[in-house]
Amino acid sequence: MSSGVGERDEDPRSWERIETLKAEQRKQHEEEGSDLSRPINPGFVMQALKRNVAGDAIICVDVGDHTYWFYKRFVCEGQRTFLSANIASMGFALPAALAAQLARPDRQVVCLTGDGGFGMLMADFTTAVREELPINVIVMNDERLKNIKKEMARDGYPEFGISFPNPDFADFARSAGGEGLRVEDPAELDDALARAFGSKKPALIDVVVDREKMAASAKRLD
């Protein structure tokens, strides 16, 4: 009785398909990286982050629509990432960033979060100020829970209870003793990231992104 997987001939069509998909992905990155439309394209945020983040940064990613944007659009080249796999654990990224900065004070630490997840534990930003942990928080601010919106639409339910008003997160960060920046114009985002990453204080960038532009869920390719 034989066991294991038998040898198969290489199918060049598979490699061709992979190269085609990679080319399409690179084109999307380039297009979104230069998209100066308003409200801000979430894909533009990922490319701006890529342009400015340190090569050995630690990036803690929260749970939400922005998670899809990150792993579909951000190509790591030395950065260490921590994700909670989108398993209904909103609020993960901020405490993860605090722990990462405590463990590696020599590294740049970024918390990438949505407004829903950040709102759950935003008081922990005061802990960063108190402990002098220079984390960088990027809040994708669209005043809605986009993942829930997608799930409702997928299952045929009307939109309900997924929109909410937000405070001015940049004002909150400044009132707590940190650096606070609000960005509504994509042309200002690179400068805001450079300023935040250069600060010795905990910094927060409140990025107002397009409420209607959502990342597609993962799908199987034929």
Q: How many domains does the chain have?
A: 1
Domain membership of residue 4 (yes or no) is no
Domain membership of residue 8 (yes or no) is no
Domain membership of residue 34 (yes or no) is yes
List Cα–Cα distances, 78 to 40, 55, 75, 81, 85, in angstroms: 27, 5, 9, 10, 20
Q: What is the pLDDT of residue 151?
A: 87
pLDDT tens-digit map of 102-146: 999 999 999 999 999 999 999 999 999 999 999 999 999 999 999
Q: What is the pLDDT of residue 25?
A: 86
Return the number of other C-beta atoms located less than 10 Å from residue 18's C-beta.
Answer: 10
Domain membership of residue 217 (yes or no) is no
What is the CATH number for 39?
A: 3.40.50.970
Q: What is the pLDDT of residue 221?
A: 53
Q: Is 183 helix (H, G, I), strand (E, B) or coil?
A: strand
Q: What is the pLDDT of residue 94?
A: 98
Regions of the chain with pLDDT less than 50: none
- Domain containing 198 equals 14-208
**Cβ atoms 62, 116 nearer than 8 A:** no
**Cβ atoms 73, 213 nearer than 8 A:** no
Predicted TM-score of the model (pTM): 0.90
Domain membership of residue 218 (yes or no) is no
Q: What is the pLDDT of residue 3?
A: 66
Domain membership of residue 216 (yes or no) is no
